[in-house]
Structure 1
Amino acid sequence: MKKGLLDILKGKFLVSGDAPKNWLFIIFASFLAAVMISSSHSADKKVHRIAALNEEVKELRSEFVDARSDVQRLKLESTITGTVAAKELYPSENPPKKIMVKSLNDAK
């Protein structure tokens, strides 16, 4: 046990007769570690991108709500009446009347 551990620490397994098999395993393990690290970095980038996009969505949603409230305020009858009153246009005193037209098909 002590000799095997000492051989590993000295690196004799890399220069012994079956060293190519050991080197292939070390290269394969190194490749897998590189792939794992790359995958982890990619996942972290995506998490940060998602967080940034969520913040942007919140900002755009608040902008939308502000704009919608402004438009609703501008559509109010009192606002429109005040705007056209400045141009000397006033609402009618008489309410509008609905005109009904009967077509020939309805008369039958």
Structure 2
Amino acid sequence: MKKNIYHILRGKFLISDDSFKNWRIIILISVLAIIMIASSHKADQKVYEIAKLTNEVKELRSAFVDKRGKLMQLKKESFVEVEMKAKGIGISLNPPTKIIVRSQQEQ
């Protein structure tokens, strides 16, 4: 047992006659480790991008709600009345009347 551990520490399994089998396994494990590290980095990049896009969506939704609130304020009759009084236009005291236009073919 002690002799096997000593051979591993000295690296004799890499230079012995049947070392080709050992080298294939070592290269395979190295390639798999590189692939695993690369996929981990890609996953991390996607997580960061998702977090960035989530923050952007929150900001855009907040801006949308703010603009919608301002639009509702601008559409109120009381606000329009104040703005028109500032320009010298008042509210009509007579209600609007419906104008019906008949085409000449109906007559």
TM-score (ref. length: structure 2): 0.86
Aligned to 2:74: 74
1:47 is matched by which residue type in structure 2? V
Aligned to 2:21: 21
Q: List runs of 5+ in structure 1 lacking aligned partners.
A: none
- Give the root-mean-square deviation of aligned CA atoms: 1.9
The separation in 2 between residues aligned to 1:60 and 1:20, in whole angstroms, is: 60
2:23 is matched by which residue type in structure 1? W
Q: List runs of 5+ in structure 2 lacking aligned partners.
A: none
Identity of aligned residues (%): 53
**Cα deviation 1:68-103 (Å, max 9, x = unaligned):** 101110111111111111221112111112234567
The separation in 2 between residues aligned to 1:100 and 1:16, in whole angstroms, is: 106
Aligned to 1:51: 51
**Cα deviation 1:29-56 (Å, max 9, x = unaligned):** 1111011011111111111111111111
